[in-house]
Chains A and B, each alone.
Chain A
Amino acid sequence: MAMFDILPTAFIFFAGAIIVALLPSGRIRSAISLLIPILAGWQVYNLPVGVFAQIELFGQTLDMMRVDKLSRVFALIFCLAAFLGNLYAWHVRDTVQQLAALFYAGSALGAVFAGDLVTLFFYWEGTAIASVFLIWARGTEASYQTGLRYLIIQITSGVILLAGTALIWRETGSIAFEQMTLGSIGTWLIFLSFGMKCAFPFLHNWLQDSYPAATVTGTVILSAFTTKLAVYALARGFAGTEILIYIGAIMTLFPIFFAEIENDLRRVLAYSLNNQLGFMVVGIGIGTEMALNGTASHAFAHILYKALLFMSVGAVLFRTGTSKASELGGLCRTMPRTAIFCLIGAASISAFPLFSGFVTKSLIIDASAEKHYTIIWAILVFASAGVLSHSGIKIPYFTFFGHDSGLRPKEAPINMQLAMGFTAFLCIFIGVYPEPLYALLPYEVEFHPYTMGHVVGQLQLLCFALLAFAFLMKTGIHPPEVRAINLDTDWIYRKFLPNVTAILYKGFTSVWDDAANLVKTGFAEILNLLHKVYGPEAGISSVRPTGAMALWIAVLLAFSLIISYT
């Protein structure tokens, strides 16, 4: 690696993946999988600010390592997430999943450090290809099909990114990945590409479709990288783009309704993830230093508590075979530690004071208030109450408390407990002592989350919402969990388009058949006619006696003789 002044962080993961592949399956492999993110994280933490690892390719400079405070904070949390995910997956002996996790995390880190759009494109597609194996590893026909849908959408996002890059290069002669202004087709294409990965409204459904289909450990790993890479890319390329404020506000809003009525808890968490992305996108759209700090810190905190929630539901799935709310309940009896870890994740995502979400989300909400986006602010506060309803209450309540499902599963395996415990510790640590996280943020932080107004306001919002929940449960108004699915935009390509195609196919084939019949019968009739006229039985070709002809000629000759000699 002498060609680089700094070894690209992604290569640490790729080299580690190759080592893992060569080692026999077992504990040593799992240990290497844990060691790699630690090594990478240590490297990232000590990186100087600047652009490194440049290579010349076809007259363009590719920047493999653009290090600044924005890329560093995302890279750090990606290393941390890879470590926690691999610890949670310590027991997994499936080579495909182990390699996929490392290549996936490596690609995400490569993309975060990419200083140009071509490098970004390669790693962008790398995350798509590596991650789909975490879905396919489930090994069922359903997961195969879901994985294909996921892959098509992810690859399309990359292709659009490449198209946008080509247009921008033709326009400006540069492939540098810098702040862009929406205007030309090229910039819009790149915006669309980022938006697909970031699960913008109507482009979002790959997320809820695919994450519940992955393996128990795969979902935990998936939850960290792809969407937060998109958040990073938007923050890098489109900070202060006003349309993002409105897109983000819608993102915080609509998933909370779907999450509320969804039965599969891993899909509830996928909707909830979508809602949290909305807060980050609003922060990018506002684009002030405070708002961008909010986005970066919220991404950091979110990766941890979201992973923690996916881990706790995953542990339940691992022990009971189901993650459906309708089948669960009362598990705190025998899985009390997992229950408490889940509650910590729930408190963090709901942004209770002293938990991580509180010190990061209030940066974004305050930034929106400071700019006097009244409606946006009202939506964000409402969405915060919505988060409490599905992630804060529904996940822990219907799994670990609530009615007794009769299930008495064994507590989660020790490696899962360790991963959850460590993540839970970080959620509380950030909430109680946010300064180390604030110090990592792209800009100077002048924000005090623990003011009387913030704490009382937030506690009022949450406790009165809890009271509303108690009231709705007592009165039986709260909808029960039922075994069912809910339609979302995936209906368009899973049901509507296939049906339309089937109908069109039927229509086309019947028209074709008619046409073919018509041609066939028409042709046959013409043949018949010809046959009648020229066929061996037809009058025209019948055999007449030559004698008659001779006789008539004789008559004609006789007639002409008589005329000539008279």
Chain B
Amino acid sequence: MDHIPSDKSEDNPALGRLLVWFINPKNSKTIVGVLIAICILLFLADFAYHKHGHFAVEEYKGFYGFYGFVMFTALILAAKSLRFFIQRPEDYYGDSAIDHEDYPPEQLEKMEHGDV
């Protein structure tokens, strides 16, 4: 493609112009802000009803939120360090491995937006 049309371009489908709001860097603060607000509300929601879980730990206010945040972060860090041990170049298994070949183009319909 010679030039990439701007995200506001009328060429893009209307739904696409809506979704692009989420990737606009200008809006990232709003998105994170809304997310934080939702998290706070969810934490406060724990005070609004009586929890009766199967385990004592579930009784703690905000247990699931804490567990989710900590374990998610731990997962990413662990996975990142796993790369150190098991990451290899794409041609590691030689030429007859799917990671090192293009998908046969004759089986695809590669088209750009606006093509008919």
User: Footprint of B on A, CB under 8 Å?
Assistant: 91, 138-143, 145-146, 212-213, 215-216, 256-258, 260-261, 264, 317-322, 330, 332-337, 339-340, 366, 369-370, 372, 374, 377, 381-382, 385-386, 388-389, 400-402, 404, 406, 408-411, 413, 452-453, 456-472, 474, 477-479, 482-488, 494-495
Could you tell me the distance between the alpha carbons of A330 and B48 in the complex, rounded to whole angstroms?
A: 40
Could you tell me the distance between the alpha carbons of A482 and B71 in the complex, rounded to whole angstroms?
A: 24
Chain A contact residues: helix, strand, loop or mixed: helix
Which of B4, B63, B79, B86 has most chain A Cβ within 10 Å?
B79
Interface residues as binary, B6-37 with A (CB distance below 8 Å gives 1, 0 otherwise): 01000011011111101100000001100110
A406, B69: Cβ atoms closer than 8 Å? no
Could you tell me the distance between the alpha carbons of A442 and B79 in the complex, rounded to whole angstroms?
A: 38
A256, B16: Cβ atoms closer than 8 Å? no
Which residues on B sit within 8 Å (CB–CB) of A494? Answer: 93
User: Footprint of A on B, CB under 8 Å?
Assistant: 1, 4-5, 7, 12-13, 15-20, 22-23, 31-32, 35-36, 38-39, 42-43, 45-46, 48-49, 51-55, 58, 62-73, 75-80, 82-83, 85-90, 92-93, 95-105, 107-115
Identify B75's interface contact among A91, A264, A385, CB under 8 A: A385
| Residue of chain B at shortest CB distance from A262 | B79
Which residues on B sit within 8 Å (CB–CB) of A145? Answer: 96-97
B68, A468: Cβ atoms closer than 8 Å? yes
| Residue of chain A at shortest CB distance from B102 | A321
Could you tell me the distance between the alpha carbons of A36 and B5 in the complex, rounded to whole angstroms?
A: 45
Please report the number of residue pairs spanning A and B whose Cβ atoms sit closer than 8 angstroms.
247
Could you tell me the distance between the alpha carbons of A215 and B98 in the complex, rounded to whole angstroms?
A: 11
B78, A257: Cβ atoms closer than 8 Å? yes
Which residues on A sit within 8 Å (CB–CB) of B77? Answer: 477
Q: A460-B42, A467-B36, A485-B90 are in contact. List 19 more A-B contacts (CB 8 A).
A: A140-B98, A142-B101, A258-B79, A264-B99, A321-B108, A333-B17, A335-B16, A336-B13, A336-B19, A369-B54, A461-B64, A464-B39, A467-B35, A468-B72, A468-B76, A477-B77, A477-B80, A483-B90, A485-B89
A261, B92: Cβ atoms closer than 8 Å? no
Which residues on A sit within 8 Å (CB–CB) of B99? Answer: 264, 485
Could you tell me the distance between the alpha carbons of A73 and B27 in the complex, rounded to whole angstroms?
A: 45
Which residues on A sit within 8 Å (CB–CB) of B107? Answer: 138-139, 215-216
Known contacts A140-B101, A461-B64, A385 near B72 by CB under 8 Å: yes
B108, A389: Cβ atoms closer than 8 Å? no
Identify A141's interface contact among B15, B45, B96, CB under 8 A: B96
B92, A382: Cβ atoms closer than 8 Å? no
Identify A479's interface contact among B20, B80, B113, CB under 8 A: B80
B13, A140: Cβ atoms closer than 8 Å? no
Which of B7, B89, B93, B102 has most chain A Cβ within 10 Å?
B93
A319, B88: Cβ atoms closer than 8 Å? no
CB distance from B49 to the nearest CB of A (A): 5
Which residues on B sit within 8 Å (CB–CB) of A461? Answer: 64-65, 67-68
Could you tell me the distance between the alpha carbons of A317 and B105 in the complex, rounded to whole angstroms?
A: 10
Could you tell me the distance between the alpha carbons of A47 and B55 in the complex, rounded to whole angstroms?
A: 42
B109, A318: Cβ atoms closer than 8 Å? yes
B68, A333: Cβ atoms closer than 8 Å? no
What are 15 sample pairs from A and B whose C-beta atoms fall under 8 A apart?
A142-B95, A145-B97, A260-B76, A261-B87, A382-B67, A385-B71, A386-B72, A457-B63, A464-B42, A465-B69, A468-B69, A468-B70, A472-B76, A479-B80, A486-B87
| Residue of chain B at shortest CB distance from A267 | B99
A321, B113: Cβ atoms closer than 8 Å? no
Identify B1's interface contact among A335, A406, A477, CB under 8 A: A406
CB distance from B90 to the nearest CB of A (A): 6
Identify A408's interface contact among B15, B96, B112, CB under 8 A: B112
Which residues on A sit within 8 Å (CB–CB) of B72? Answer: 385-386, 388-389, 464-465, 468-469
Known contacts A332-B23, A333-B19, A406-B4, A140 near B87 by CB under 8 Å: no
8 closest pairs, A vs B, by CB? Answer: A260-B79, A336-B15, A369-B54, A334-B113, A460-B64, A460-B65, A461-B68, A465-B72
B111, A319: Cβ atoms closer than 8 Å? yes
Which residues on A sit within 8 Å (CB–CB) of B110? Answer: 318-321, 409
B15, A337: Cβ atoms closer than 8 Å? yes
Which residues on A sit within 8 Å (CB–CB) of B53? Answer: 369, 453
Which residues on B sit within 8 Å (CB–CB) of A91? Answer: 109
Known contacts A139-B107, A140-B101, A369-B54, A479 near B13 by CB under 8 Å: no
Which residues on B sit within 8 Å (CB–CB) of A470? Answer: 31-32, 35
| Residue of chain B at shortest CB distance from A381 | B67
Could you tell me the distance between the alpha carbons of A260 and B100 in the complex, rounded to whole angstroms?
A: 20
B112, A409: Cβ atoms closer than 8 Å? yes
CB distance from B69 to the nearest CB of A (A): 4
Could you tell me the distance between the alpha carbons of A76 and B114 in the complex, rounded to whole angstroms?
A: 40
Could you tell me the distance between the alpha carbons of A460 and B23 in the complex, rounded to whole angstroms?
A: 24
A260, B98: Cβ atoms closer than 8 Å? no
Which residues on B sit within 8 Å (CB–CB) of A369? Answer: 53-55
B23, A321: Cβ atoms closer than 8 Å? no
B68, A138: Cβ atoms closer than 8 Å? no
A333, B16: Cβ atoms closer than 8 Å? yes
| Residue of chain B at shortest CB distance from A333 | B16
B103, A322: Cβ atoms closer than 8 Å? yes
| Residue of chain A at shortest CB distance from B5 | A408
A386, B75: Cβ atoms closer than 8 Å? yes
Could you tell me the distance between the alpha carbons of A146 and B100 in the complex, rounded to whole angstroms?
A: 13
CB distance from B36 to the nearest CB of A (A): 7
Identify A143's interface contact among B71, B79, B98, B108, CB under 8 A: B98
A257, B82: Cβ atoms closer than 8 Å? yes
| Residue of chain B at shortest CB distance from A408 | B113
Identify A260's interface contact among B17, B32, B75, CB under 8 A: B75
CB distance from A475 to the nearest CB of B (A): 11
CB distance from A58 to the nearest CB of B (A): 43
Which residues on B sit within 8 Å (CB–CB) of A385? Answer: 67-68, 71-72, 75
B79, A257: Cβ atoms closer than 8 Å? yes
Could you tell me the distance between the alpha carbons of A483 and B90 in the complex, rounded to whole angstroms?
A: 7
A484, B88: Cβ atoms closer than 8 Å? yes
A402, B92: Cβ atoms closer than 8 Å? no
A409, B35: Cβ atoms closer than 8 Å? no
Which residues on A sit within 8 Å (CB–CB) of B65? Answer: 460-461, 463-464
